[in-house]
């Protein structure tokens, strides 16, 4: 890191965002010691959204905070395709069905009246279709369908997150202030120093981007957001979401399992419960594979200030089973140390340095130079798959 780091903002909880120059831009640093397992900070997103295919496949989530709207039993039964599946200890399920409400004008559902009011106040007034049977020719419906046909699961972004950004600005009393909130995120479309561009902005996607931009313009144009609806402005907005979006996952079943862990039962009953849970997850693996959660993404200012490391010392978690992010230390962190997370999932973290950097360059526009990557700098530039093939050849 640069030796003359400038402090951009300070948080009394023991963290501060520092400007550290190009190509990184900024980073989050500890101003006190954190123990492994300790909460570093908590925050809610400026805006978030469930993935469109995730919702289409029946993963029911609050249209504002992504809290599950299914009970644990409904969730497990649907995913296992087993209508007879029954779960004991219903009191361990967090879903409150009697609190669920709908938008009075469309089919959007919320876990509470508070979430419905928050969504309407921030963006839903602009995005509401005003119909319980959406018109397929409505620009917002066409926008969602176009995105789904261009981006199949597994999803990592959602066009409606861009729409909610634009709608948030349109509905804001202080429109310039709202724009500034989103422009604080890194939103470059290319890393000119390393001559790389975000994968969604490659030449092969030009026609797709123009289709999405033109539909978005028809649906949401207003003077205060016109800069985001030009071809270059739209590319910038896509880059902002693509490089800063934090994945969000919620699950009524996983919360039920966690709550069951603290239920006081005798040893035989505990063994029976553990066996049931194991059997349920076996059924889910067979029928749903790895697609168990309500999934989406959001924009978090503090989380986006955390730079990547292939050997991270922190990890974002969602213990409240909604969009509320809690950053947890996964190692002891000393005062003055940078707080780093992994932009890669656990599976990809175990791949070769070359494989990791292919993913990071395509999605985040940089080549990683963390401690782990520097230690592996002399490794051959081959992907994990090529390494496995070479190993098989040697065995032959």
Dump pLDDT digits (tens) for 43-79: 999 999 999 999 999 999 999 999 999 999 999 999 9
Enumerate the H helices of 221-307 as residue ranges.
231-244, 252-260, 267-288, 301-304
* pLDDT confidence of residue 79: 96
pLDDT at residue number 319: 95
Distances (CA, A) of 18 to 7, 46, 181: 4, 20, 17
Residue 97 lies in a domain: yes
User: How much is the pTM?
Assistant: 0.88
Structure confidence by residue, pLDDT tens digits, 354-379: 999 998 888 887 889 899 999 988 88
Position 169 in a domain = yes
Q: Which residues of the chain fall short of a pLDDT of 70?
A: 1-12, 21-24, 186-204, 383-396
Is the residue at 122 inside a domain?
Answer: yes
Separation of alpha carbons 158 and 148, rounded Å: 9
Work out the burial of residue 278: count CB atoms within 10 Å of its CB; fewer than 13 is exposed, 13-18 middle, 19 or more buried: exposed
Q: Is 93 exposed, middle or buried (0-12, 13-18, 19+ CB in 10 A)?
A: buried
Q: Is residue 94 part of a domain?
A: yes
- Per the structure, how many domains does the chain have? 1
Domain range for 112 is 47-246
**Any domain includes 168:** yes
**pLDDT in the model for residue 138:** 97
User: Is residue 367 one of the residues assigned to a domain?
Assistant: no
The pLDDT tens digits for 258-290 are 999 999 999 999 999 999 999 999 999 999 988
pLDDT value at residue 161? 97
Between CA 123 and CA 75, with CA 250 as vertex, the angle to 5 degrees is 110
In a domain, residue 160? The reply is yes
């Amino acid at each position: 890191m640069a030796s003359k780091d400038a402090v951009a903002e300070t948080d009394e909880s023991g963290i501060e965002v520092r400007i550290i120059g190009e190509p990184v831009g900024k980073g989050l640093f500890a101003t006190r010691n954190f123990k492994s397992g300790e909460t570093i900070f908590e925050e809610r997103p400026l805006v978030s959204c469930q993935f469109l295919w995730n919702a289409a496949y029946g993963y029911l989530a609050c249209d504002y905070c992504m809290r599950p709207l299914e009970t644990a039993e409904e969730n497990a039964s649907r995913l296992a395709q087993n209508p007879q599946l029954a779960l004991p200890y219903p009191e361990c399920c967090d879903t409150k069905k009697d609190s669920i409400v709908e938008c009075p004008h469309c089919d959007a559902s919320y876990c509470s009246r508070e979430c419905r009011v928050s969504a309407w106040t921030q963006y839903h007034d602009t995005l509401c279709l005003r119909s319980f049977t959406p018109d397929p020719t409505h620009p917002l419906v066409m926008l969602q369908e176009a995105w789904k046909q261009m981006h199949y699961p597994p999803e990592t972004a959602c066009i409606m997150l861009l729409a909610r950004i634009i709608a948030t600005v349109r509905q804001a009393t202080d429109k310039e202030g709202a724009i500034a909130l989103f422009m604080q995120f890194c939103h470059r479309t290319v890393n000119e120093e390393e001559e790389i561009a975000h994968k969604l902005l490659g030449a092969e996607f030009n026609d797709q981007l123009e289709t999405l931009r033109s539909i978005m313009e028809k649906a949401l144009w207003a003077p205060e957001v016109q800069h985001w609806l030009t071809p270059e402005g739209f590319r910038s907005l896509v880059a902002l979401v693509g490089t800063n979006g934090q994945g969000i996952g919620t699950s009524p079943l996983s919360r039920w399992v966690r709550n069951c862990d603290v239920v006081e039962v005798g040893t035989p009953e505990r063994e029976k419960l553990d066996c049931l849970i194991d059997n349920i997850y076996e059924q889910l693996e067979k029928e749903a594979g790895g697609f168990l959660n309500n999934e989406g993404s959001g924009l978090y200012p503090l989380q986006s200030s955390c730079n990547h490391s292939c050997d991270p010392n922190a990890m974002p978690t969602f213990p409240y089973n909604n969009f509320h992010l809690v950053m947890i230390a996964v190692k002891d962190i000393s005062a003055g140390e940078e707080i780093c997370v992994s932009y890669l999932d656990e599976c990809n973290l175990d791949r070769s340095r070359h494989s990791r950097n292919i993913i990071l360059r395509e999605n985040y526009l940089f080549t990683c130079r963390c401690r782990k990557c520097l230690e592996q700098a002399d490794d051959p530039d081959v992907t994990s798959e090529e390494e496995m093939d070479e190993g098989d050849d040697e065995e032959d």
